[in-house]
Structure 1
């Protein structure tokens, strides 16, 4: 049953990505267009999932929120994988004091309380850092800002995984042969060790996407992540809190989107793990 579930999860994510990037902008209304005359309206031909508290199309905002949340999650997972891979490769290959220092740094970051730390980092106002207000409020900057914040605390698992794999790979014959032929440390790490540890990194990055979506949703729900008018599933839940008893669908739709997306990424990650890195699977 694992393979069919993984394929189903991949198909669901592909459908979501297609809707968010292509179908949504072309076929759905403007997610920021407000019409107070139809606020909290029921599903209709014009608004398939109804309208929210400001008369905006719920389906359009749900699709826009999916695009934004997926962009944050993908960028965060990529940054965390790159930084964690660099730290793990260096620590595992060089060893000695550098290994000890980098692993103590990793342990220190892992020991920090996650949510309070993210709240402190997310509370920093980019305008006070010299970024113009219009630029700071734009979608690319907002997405990049949140991705960098979450990536700062999300690289540790990849670093430990890569370090362990590097310790194993560096003792293999092809690595020793490259060293004997005079290859430098950077060439050995990039050309001869990195390809052998890439599969676990891909698996770890895929599994982390669901976790990042939950973190982004939590920060946006607290008002510290992506802020209106930019839609995300987290701030859609925030907007639904005032009308949850009169219009529960306003909270159900973004909550269901978060649940299904996180579940799909976890199932896809498990499938990739069994295919690419079976040694990581629990027996």
Structure 2
């Protein structure tokens, strides 16, 4: 009989609450704030007021509306990337840990090779690839949804390795248990055993790793957008907003303060939540 799991500690609850509050604020933005793309040059760089809660940017666009739109984009990229990386890493780790032998050696050497590459230069190279030249239909490469999806894919291609190594270790442990050996002895196929008996054993560590990766993904997306390789105008993201505020940081520091604060709070919330889930999982083991 497994021990009952302890309740979430205050830090974990604070992280979950802060993350939920940020998500709610970004989702409620369109109903409460002006159009984030509306340009008003007569009121550019305005101070906070009743009409513009956080002021306006260099083109007179409402800063709070841009911040909410940027939050939706950044959080969507983080969620998609973390999910794709978790799926890819889980697949590689399951195959390597369960099949072992040559499959394990090849997949782990591939994982080591990707981990050995410097992250930011690798992402810069991947982000510089034009999806239109890969043979994709024009309608799948120019839309905002396609831009977000492509950015999530390239970050996931560089970020699945940690999940793969974690899942491999958990799979090696799960594969040695009696119920897994019994299923194989009764003639169950490897695919069925992996999905029905091994995957549930490694699901909890994957959830924790995915939660912890959300903050890192937001930082990576912000860095790419800051370098001009991520989200591009007119679509906003917190990293792209920092890029736009770079030339005005000394005269209008609020343009950089708000997106930077949003990034910091989101990373803090995701880290607190992930570490709390990790502690709870370890205490219940």
Give TM-score, length-normalised by structure 2. 0.94
Alignment match, 2:126: 121
- Residue range with higher mean Cα deviation, 118-127 or 83-92: 118-127
* Counterpart selection for 2:200 from 191, 195, 202: 195
Gapped runs of 5+ residues in structure 2? 1-7
Determine if the alignment matches structure 1 residue 92 to structure 2 residue 102: no
SS of the residue corresponding to residue 54 of structure 2 reads coil
Alignment match, 1:211: 216
* Counterpart selection for 1:138 from 124, 136, 143: 143
Determine if the alignment matches structure 1 residue 17 to structure 2 residue 26: no
**How far, CA to CA, are the matches of 2:25 and 2:178 in structure 1?**
48
Question: CA contact under 8 A between 1:203 and 1:277: conserved in structure 2?
Answer: no
Alignment match, 1:253: 258
Determine if the alignment matches structure 1 residue 75 to structure 2 residue 80: yes
SS of the residue corresponding to residue 148 of structure 1 reads helix
* Change in 2 beyond 3 A, CA 1:25/1:131: farther
* Counterpart selection for 1:26 from 21, 27, 31: 31
* Counterpart selection for 1:170 from 163, 169, 175: 175
Give TM-score, length-normalised by structure 1. 0.95
* Counterpart selection for 2:14 from 8, 32, 45: 8
**How far, CA to CA, are the matches of 1:46 and 1:132 in structure 2?**
42
CA shift for structure 1 position 126: 2.6
**How far, CA to CA, are the matches of 2:284 and 2:228 in structure 1?**
41
Alignment match, 2:165: 160
* Higher RCO (C-alpha under 8 Å, 6+ residues apart): 2
**How far, CA to CA, are the matches of 2:104 and 2:131 in structure 1?**
34
**How far, CA to CA, are the matches of 1:133 and 1:195 in structure 2?**
40
Gapped runs of 5+ residues in structure 1? none
Question: CA contact under 8 A between 1:199 and 1:277: conserved in structure 2?
Answer: no
**How far, CA to CA, are the matches of 2:101 and 2:133 in structure 1?**
41
* Change in 2 beyond 3 A, CA 1:277/1:187: farther
Calculate the aligned-residue CA RMSD, in Å. 1.6
Question: CA contact under 8 A between 1:200 and 1:277: conserved in structure 2?
Answer: no
Count of aligned pairs between the two proteins: 279
- Residues 219-230 of structure 1 correspond to what in structure 2 (within 5 A)? 219-230=224-235
SS of the residue corresponding to residue 9 of structure 2 reads helix
* Change in 2 beyond 3 A, CA 1:169/1:130: closer
**How far, CA to CA, are the matches of 1:159 and 1:36 in structure 2?**
50
* Change in 2 beyond 3 A, CA 1:58/1:86: same
Question: CA contact under 8 A between 1:226 and 1:235: conserved in structure 2?
Answer: yes
**How far, CA to CA, are the matches of 1:160 and 1:101 in structure 2?**
13
